Amino acid sequence: MSFLALTFFQMFLLAAATFGVVFFLYWLKPPPQRVTVPSTFIWVRVMQERKRRYDFWRWLVSLLVALAIGLAIAAAIGKPVIEALSGRARHIAVILDNSPTMMATTSSGDTRWELALAHAHDLLNEGSPSSEFMVTDTCGQLPATGFVSRRRALELLDGLEPCLEDRGRFPEGYAFSTERNEQDERDETEVYFIGDGVLVRDIPDSVRTISVFEPSDNVGITAFAIRPVPAEPTRYEGFLELSNHSTEPKRVAMQIDGAGGASVQRALILAPGQVLGEPVDVDNFLSGPIRVLIDAPDDAFALDNVAYTYLAAPRRVDTVLVTRGNAYLETLLDLDPRVALEIVAPEEYSVPDGDGDLPGLYVFDRFAPEERPVAPVLLFRPTARGWLPASAGVDLSDFSLAGVTSDHPILSHVSLTDVVVERAAHVDPGEHEVVVGTSAEPILIVGENPLRWAELTFDIADSSFPLQAAFPIFLANAVTWLTSTDVVPAGLGRFTVPARVASVTDGRGNQVPTRSIGDMTVFNPEAPGLYSVRTADSELVVSANLLSPKVSAINASAFAGENADGALVDYLTGSVGGGEPWLVLILVALVLLLIEWWTYHRRMTV
């Protein structure tokens, strides 16, 4: 026998104190009452002898009953544990896979997550009341900090939710390590993983696995984007990708909705495992939100059935080119239909006084002002200023950009294979993003704080870049990236805004809760949609979608082919922690109190 609330020594002291107090109270005798009874001496002595014997047994029975009541209550306070009654004490660690695929619906109508919770509750009801539990997950909502009581573990379990990010992984920690010493083996920690085996697949052999995987049909949107046409910057083109992760062909109804009530409907047939990518004509759509919605029979995963983006309106940008003369930049910017160009010499440059409209873009050629303009900026080999990356040494010379690639929008459809540079400034990019080059030798640097800027560290006259067909595309991409309405693609679950104070509203105008972390603001998009983010200096649109081929592939499980019932480890030992002796002791004490009350009122006890 062991005790939950007290140590064995503390329990011994409590029992001894209870025994002593009860015995002392019964040992005390009230002063005898003086009563004059006319009788003979013999009869008085006879009555005294009989009374003493009878009172002694009444007193003894009362003492024993009182001791039983007191000791039962004292033992209940210590919460005794008897392994034969309540099962052995166990250390159980439960790891729940709460990645997005766990929200897939099964044939029973429950989601994989709901089935996992049911198994977890069964595990937490295992063992004696002295068993300890650890509950954690694969998305980091509950870090594995240590073992807790059953009640606390159930509270933690009830607070868990599926996450919306595809970054789930098996948690690392002492309790989950496959390397254990002899003391660890004596501890007999039982580690259980409950999941579907889709996103979290690397599970140590020492961990007992409980699978909730069941094959389900799913057709999902895995890509959706709208970008300007490189050759026609005032036009946009869309791209849509659908994936069928079902075991049979699916007829998919697709609907594309835009601003002003514009809508396009189509029906597609997708073969099992087919990935269909096709362009989307958006010429007839007005600027504003665009939504794609698909529907397929028996689809078990709804999060990837809808996607949003934003179609920006083409507009002319008031652009100031500060240069002492650059025919390439002057010609190409003047030919861009989006640009209203003004050319000034560095000596004539001045900061606008705030009256009237401010320029929407500055292009600095071999020059930079002392203070940064309140507008997006494109720089070509600028002079050293405090708001720009600092010089890091002597100039770089005679190098080629062949083989340089990047996914950044500013280099979309731009090939640098034949670009040779004679001389470039050597600067330190700091924490800014290096698009071309390395952190030690950056060539193209971009940044947002929060207004965007881009710096090319060489003078285009010192390179073959302006003679290449890629240069006009690069310049058009730069204007687009720097000046277009910011539509930032994001996943679900968490998004960080590089500003201390920002207000966020969803597509219906409702405020979205935010929290500040240092110089950043964080909010959690919990459903696909468009979110408007406003800071003190700018505004951007966040298109939050679950566009993940890994998540849409809800049948790509490491447990595929296993029988779901056979995959359930026989974790129920029958030692369910429901029989707690302290409740029985309280009941015994209550029954004895009733007996004592009944016997006392019938003068059977004192």
Higher-pLDDT residue of 586 and 389 is: 389
Domain boundary among 483, 511, 546: 483
Of residues 303, 333, 335, the one with CA closest to residue 319? 333
Q: Is the domain of 568 the same as that of 590?
A: no
Q: Is residue 490 part of a domain?
A: no
C-alpha 40: how far from its chain's center? 95
Average of per-residue pLDDT across 417-426:
93
If you average pLDDT over every residue of the chain, what do you get? 83
pLDDT level of residue 46 (50, 70, 90 thresholds): low
216 close to 555: Cβ distance less than 8 angstroms: yes
Quick: pLDDT tens for 466-515.
Answer: 999 999 999 999 998 888 766 788 889 888 887 776 788 888 878 899 98
Which percentage of the chain shows pLDDT scores above 70? 81
Q: Is the domain of 470 the same as that of 568?
A: no
Which percentage of the chain shows pLDDT scores above 90? 41
Count of beta carbons in the 10 Å neighbourhood of residue 382: 23
368 close to 388: Cβ distance less than 8 angstroms: yes
Q: Is the domain of 100 the same as that of 76?
A: no
- State the Cα–Cα distance between residues 94 and 207, nearest whole angstrom: 10
DSSP for 23-91 reads HHHHH--PPPP-------HHHHHHHHHHHHHHHHHHHHHHHHHHHHHHHHHHHHHH-EE-HHHH----E
Tokens of 434: 């290096």
The structure tokens 């006009």 sit at 472
pLDDT at residue 421, rounded to an integer:
94
Residue numbers of the domain that contains 68: 2-31+38-85+581-602
SS3 assignment, position 256: strand
pLDDT at residue 175, rounded to an integer:
54
Q: Is the domain of 95 the same as that of 76?
A: no
Q: Is the domain of 81 the same as that of 193?
A: no
Count of the separate structural domains present in the chain: 3
Q: Is the domain of 191 the same as that of 73?
A: no
Q: Which of 70-74, 484-488, 575-579 has the lowest mean pLDDT?
A: 575-579
pLDDT level of residue 446 (50, 70, 90 thresholds): very high
Q: Is the domain of 421 the same as that of 402?
A: yes
Is the pLDDT at 166 greater than 60, yes or no? yes
Q: Is the domain of 419 the same as that of 475?
A: yes
- State the Cα–Cα distance between residues 496 and 525, nearest whole angstrom: 11
Contacting residues for 269 by C-beta, under 8 A, at least 6 apart: 249, 250, 251, 252
Q: Is residue 510 part of a domain?
A: no
Q: Residues, the chain, total? A: 606
pLDDT at residue 173, rounded to an integer:
65
- State the Cα–Cα distance between residues 561 and 400, nearest whole angstrom: 53
Quick: pLDDT tens for 348-400.
Answer: 998 876 555 678 899 999 999 999 888 889 999 999 999 999 988 889 999 98
Q: Is residue 425 part of a domain?
A: yes
Average of per-residue pLDDT across 573-596:
66
- State the Cα–Cα distance between residues 224 and 309, nearest whole angstrom: 8
Tokens of 576: 């369910």
Residue type, 447: G
Q: Is the domain of 563 the same as that of 595?
A: no
Is the pLDDT at 422 greater than 70, yes or no? yes
Among 74-83, 208-217, 479-488, 571-580, the range with the most confident prediction by mean pLDDT is 208-217
Q: What is the DSSP letter of 386?
A: T
Of residues 150, 19, 25, the one with CA closest to residue 11? 19
Q: What CATH number does residue 381 fall under?
A: 3.40.50.880
Quick: pLDDT tens for 88-129.
Answer: 677 889 999 999 999 999 999 999 999 999 999 988 887 666
Residue type, 445: I
